[in-house]
Amino acid sequence: MEVRQEATMDNLSPEQQQPSNSKHPKPSPLPVDTHSVTQRLQKELMALMMSGDLGVSAFPKGESIFTWIGTIEGGKGTMYEGLSYKLSLQFPLDYPFKPPQVKFETMCFHPNIDQFGNICLDILQDKWSAAYDCRTILLSIQSLLGEPNIESPLNSSAASLWSNKEDYRKMVHKHYAAGETCES
């Protein structure tokens, strides 16, 4: 008499337990509660509107609380003073345990921003904390404009030009005056 053993996760090797296509995202370790995420985003929106912070704002785009449009004005005394940049913020369903995807929609010549609007900022990647909020993100990006990390550039030509303040300022204004939106 033959005994058949069913293949279960318990008797498979670790390699066999892994999905064959590594492109599948790992599921969130916590169950997604979109109601609590929605409540948090509504509180963050209200706090941002009441903060009185100069030069940063954001509001939901359309009906979804998970997609916002933000605005950042260049800080006083920086190469970006007097300029206003539009950003998109896409909050994941497991926010605040994962950071939002934040991109410049207005072309920005900067060492830590590429031609697609992607931003190299540690708090949006490996230094993310659930304690951060939209206000913190916008203020950090505003600060980054005046204080780039030229050791970790996404735009190497901007990083190499950073030390020549006059030429750098010209490039910032040239890109801004062109009125270009970032490439998709």
Instruction: List residues with catalytic annotation.
Output: 120
Map residue 139 onto helix, strand or coil: helix
Please report where in the chains the tokens 């920005």 appear, as a residue.
108
Distance CA 78, CA 172 (A): 11
Beta bridge partners of 69: 59, 88
101-104 sheet: strands from edge to edge: 56-60, 67-73, 84-90, 101-104
